[in-house]
């Protein structure tokens, strides 16, 4: 039976760290239960006594390893798709596991992974940043006693999107953590741009690496039942991004969008074509983003209307309608913010694909003995390499990476992409 860590692809070191920390956390709980029993029970409770003895024996058997200990704040770092949030959720499940191991079978493991455990809160920023209001409310709730008797766990995905004020609210909680509260942050890196130095100094870091294509292919075949040859192709094309590999393997539309992106280098035959290619790329990203949020937008609107009792009449209905209009406006604002982020993410994926193509051209020009990122356009990349040589291919790769950096720095996407297309055409 696979345990909660089975989906962490190619992360043996991190899994080892988390398993030991979960065991240590379970020992803390056993010890607390034993102390509590000794203090309150007159006659000795044989079962708990036995448990305590077991815990002590374990402690004695394993000389205290400070690296294995439990900590109240953790940061999971790694490139996109390496499994930061998968790791954080798996660790949360192990903390809530009734066996203390993350067995994958007990109610604690199940409810945590399903997102329904009462003592696990997950923050997934939908807009471009996590605000202070949301963080304060979260910190307050996280301080309460865990209802399940184990831990209060707060998972913050994309902790690099915390506003400064939200970061400060979180820092206070991390500096003086309630005894049974654990914060799990996910961020691309521990660079000060991603996470403040003071928060970083209070956290234990679990670095995740980009999984190898072979490891990604193996999990696609084993867990998702993808045919081995398709799995191998998708894993290479996704460049170590597990979720992206799964979409490429299973979603024909994702494959079509990728094909369209990889057709760009061929289409750059002049200035007009460069601008056309820029428009096509932006519009494809918008369409992909719209498709990805449409369903959830509609479900949220329907749920809110139901909650507000749409169409109600009678006494109080007018006042209720005014309140409803405000809530609807809030929802629309949140949805707009999420749509903007979805567009950026979709465009970034396209740019990563394009960068992979020019990277293939660079390695081909240099005769480097590495397999191409995009096996299906390898011949085209080789033709480019002959025409551009290593330097020209490298300049084009840099143009794509500069475009990503510019968008990250808030340059308007269309302007950044147009500049990139012109650079790719001129070389
Ligand atoms: Zn379990």
3-state secondary structure 207-236: ECCCCCHHHHHHHHHHHHCCCHHHHHHHHH
Q: Cα of 10 to ligand 1 centre, how many Å?
A: 22
Q: Cα of 1 to ligand 1 centre, how many Å?
A: 11
> What are the DSSP calls for 44-100, one per residue?
--HHHHHHHHHHHHHHHHS---GGGS--SEEEEE-STTS-HHHHHHHHHHHHH-TTS
Q: Which helix (H) or strand (E) holds 205?
A: strand 204-207
Query: What does the pLDDT average to over 315-320?
Result: 58
Q: Cα of 102 to ligand 1 centre, how many Å?
A: 4
Q: Cα of 4 to ligand 1 centre, how many Å?
A: 8
pLDDT greater than 60 at residue 424: yes
- Specify the residue for token string 């049974």: 180
Residue 63 has a pLDDT of 44
Q: Cα of 390 to ligand 1 centre, how many Å?
A: 53
Residue 363 has a pLDDT of 96
Q: Cα of 236 to ligand 1 centre, how many Å?
A: 33
Residue 322 has a pLDDT of 62
Q: Which helix (H) or strand (E) holds 122?
A: strand 120-123
- Please tell me whether the overall predicted TM-score, pTM, comes out greater than 0.75 for this model: no
Q: Cα of 28 to ligand 1 centre, how many Å?
A: 17
105 — pLDDT class (breaks 50, 70, 90): very high
Rounded to whole angstroms, the Cα distance separating 254 from 244 reads 9
382 — pLDDT class (breaks 50, 70, 90): very high
Residue 41 has a pLDDT of 59
Q: Cα of 114 to ligand 1 centre, how many Å?
A: 13
Beta bridge partners of 76: 186, 206
Q: Tell me the percentage of the chain whose pLDDT exceeds 70.
A: 89
Beta bridge partners of 207: 77
Tokens of 58: 């374990």
Q: Cα of 96 to ligand 1 centre, how many Å?
A: 7
Residue 2 has a pLDDT of 76
Rounded to whole angstroms, the Cα distance separating 227 from 225 reads 6
Q: Cα of 175 to ligand 1 centre, how many Å?
A: 29
Can you say whether the dihedral through the CA atoms of 361, 362, 366, 367 is positive or negative? Answer: negative
Rounded to whole angstroms, the Cα distance separating 191 from 211 reads 21
Query: What does the pLDDT average to over 201-224?
Result: 92
Q: Cα of 5 to ligand 1 centre, how many Å?
A: 11
61 — pLDDT class (breaks 50, 70, 90): very low
When mean pLDDT is compared over 12-16, 35-39, 236-240, the highest value belongs to: 12-16
259-289 pLDDT per residue, tens = 999 999 999 999 999 999 999 999 988 888 8
393 — pLDDT class (breaks 50, 70, 90): very high
Residue 66 has a pLDDT of 42
Asked if 75 contacts 187 with a C-beta cutoff of 8 angstroms, the reply is yes
291-308 pLDDT per residue, tens = 777 777 887 788 777 777
Extract the runs of DSSP E, i.e. beta strands, from 152-203.
Answer: 152-156, 181-187
67 — pLDDT class (breaks 50, 70, 90): very low
């Amino acid at each position: 039976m696979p345990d909660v860590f089975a989906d962490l692809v190619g992360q043996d070191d991190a899994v080892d760290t988390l398993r030991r920390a979960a065991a240590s956390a379970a020992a803390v709980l056993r010890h607390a239960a034993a102390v509590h029993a000794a203090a309150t029970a007159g006659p000795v409770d044989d079962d708990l006594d036995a448990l305590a003895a077991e815990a002590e024996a374990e402690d004695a058997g394993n000389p205290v390893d400070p690296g294995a200990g439990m900590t109240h704040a953790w940061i999971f770092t790694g490139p996109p798709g390496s499994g930061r949030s998968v790791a954080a959720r798996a660790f949360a499940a192990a903390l809530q596991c009734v066996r203390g191991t993350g067995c994958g079978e007990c109610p604690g493991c199940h409810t945590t992974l399903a997102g329904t455990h009462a003592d696990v809160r997950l923050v997934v920023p939908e807009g471009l940043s996590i605000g202070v209001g949301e963080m304060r409310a979260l910190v307050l709730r996280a301080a309460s006693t865990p209802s399940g008797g184990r831990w209060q766990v707060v998972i913050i995905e994309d902790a690099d999107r915390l506003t400064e004020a939200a970061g400060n609210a979180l820092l206070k909680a991390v500096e003086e953590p309630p005894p049974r509260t654990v914060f799990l942050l996910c961020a691309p890196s521990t660079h000060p741009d991603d996470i403040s130095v003071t928060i970083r100094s209070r956290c234990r870091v679990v670095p995740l690496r980009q999984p190898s294509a072979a490891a990604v292919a193996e999990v696609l075949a084993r867990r998702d039942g993808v045919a081995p040859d398709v799995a191998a192709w998708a894993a290479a094309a996704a460049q170590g991004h597990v979720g992206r590999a799964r979409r490429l393997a299973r979603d024909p539309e994702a494959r079509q969008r990728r094909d369209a992106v990889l057709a760009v280098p061929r289409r750059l035959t002049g200035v007009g074509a460069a601008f056309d290619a820029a428009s096509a790329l932006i519009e494809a990203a918008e369409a992909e983003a719209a498709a990805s949020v449409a369903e959830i937008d509609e479900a949220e609107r329907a749920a809110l209307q139901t909650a507000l009792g749409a169409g109600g009449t009678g006494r109080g209905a007018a006042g209720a309608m005014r309140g409803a209009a405000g809530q609807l406006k809030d929802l629309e604002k949140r949805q707009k913010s999420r749509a903007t982020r979805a567009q950026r993410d979709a465009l970034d994926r396209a740019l990563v694909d394009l960068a992979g193509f020019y990277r293939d051209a660079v390695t081909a020009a240099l005769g480097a003995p590495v397999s191409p990122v995009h096996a299906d356009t390898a011949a085209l990349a080789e033709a480019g390499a002959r025409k551009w040589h290593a330097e020209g291919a490298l300049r084009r790769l840099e143009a794509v990476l500069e475009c990503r950096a510019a968008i990250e720095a808030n340059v308007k996407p269309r302007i950044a992409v147009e500049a990139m297309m012109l650079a790719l055409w001129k070389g």
